[in-house]
Structure 1
């Protein structure tokens, strides 16, 4: 997962550098069953969920990306959806003292951990992970 925005939005509103800075930004959040979705971040190596201001609540991931590209605010989306826009400069990642967390998803009936690195994603079968955090 990555928190990103259009360069135009960041030029007008500034780049959030601290977690608390997000409260002063327009955020485009997903929602499910009428409830806004939280964002997952790591602060000091610890996972944390935050509830950003839901300036815009959209239920479709592609539409969230399009809204952010149009300059409506920050979004947190999987790297797979924002990578092409980061590569072309239409999106800028927010460099902060915290970072978005990795995700777990179902793929062909097995759990896989998506490990996002700066601009790449690798799939690692969850049964091969050896970590006290898991």
Structure 2
């Protein structure tokens, strides 16, 4: 339709081809396809001149009106996407507020007051699509899927125990010594009894055991600080205990590489301006 209107304006295929940067044959073909579609002749064409037929005059007005409506729709659609508002459902692991997520959400809402956020801290795997979740903060390696993962930050992971525990039971010198110690098991991880460590630039594993199993990192930290055993845990979850010397890092030369925390979302959700705006905001705050 746009091509036909330019041809009518120029009354020339070659003139339209120059303006549209299309081959003359392409311009001619598009007009012919319109004539075939509407079962009428739109232009009288001779070797020397071109005139618009009565049907052509009618369709010129109709096409202009239709294209004007379409341009208006596209303008408002672009405008709507630029306005950050709407509802946003976010999940993150327990204790993740210690990573600055609460501050991140607070600052985002100050900038975009028309956004409404539902933030849930969950100690379980969530199915974003089935549960209607827009964005998840996830820690560790992510399985291949149709979801997109954008790196947000790195999390240091430590082996720690209380001074009281180490005084009574001794300090392990190698991760293999952990089999002789009481380990506190955090059940929310994928392989709770299989702990990782780094040696000779390799990631290795040791199977541990213990009398206490819990499904929250904060409980592991409290129990370890009370002298019940050794834990392997992200540093952010025990920062207060470290500052107060209630927990002490051990096996530091075998410390694993930092874990990635990622922003995970379905590409189909990006139609939500609030989600796209939040992702851009979060990544700019790293």
SS at match of 1:50: strand
Distance change (3 Å), C-alpha of 1:96 and 1:106: closer
Higher RCO by CA contacts (8 Å cutoff, separation 6 or greater): 1
Runs of at least 5 residues in structure 1 that lack an aligned partner in the other structure: 110-124, 126-134
Tell me, yes or no, if the aligned pair for 1:19 and 1:97 is still in contact at 8 Å: no
TM-score by length of 1: 0.71
Structure 1 CA distance for aligned equivalents of residues 252 and 173 of structure 2:
4
SS at match of 1:84: helix
What is residue 84 of structure 1 aligned with on the other side?
240
Structure 1 CA distance for aligned equivalents of residues 261 and 190 of structure 2:
22
| Structure with the higher fraction of residues in helix conformation | 2
| Structure with the higher fraction of residues in strand conformation | 1
Which protein has the larger Cα radius of gyration, Structure 1 or Structure 2? 2
TM-score by length of 2: 0.35
Q: Report how many aligned residue pairs link the two structures.
A: 110
Offset at residue 96 of structure 1 (A): 5.1
2:224 is the alignment partner of 1:72:
no
What is residue 46 of structure 1 aligned with on the other side?
202
Q: Which moved more, 1:97-106 or 1:51-60?
A: 97-106
Q: What value does the CA root-mean-square deviation take over the aligned residues?
A: 2.3
Offset at residue 10 of structure 1 (A): 0.5
Runs of at least 5 residues in structure 2 that lack an aligned partner in the other structure: 1-156, 266-282
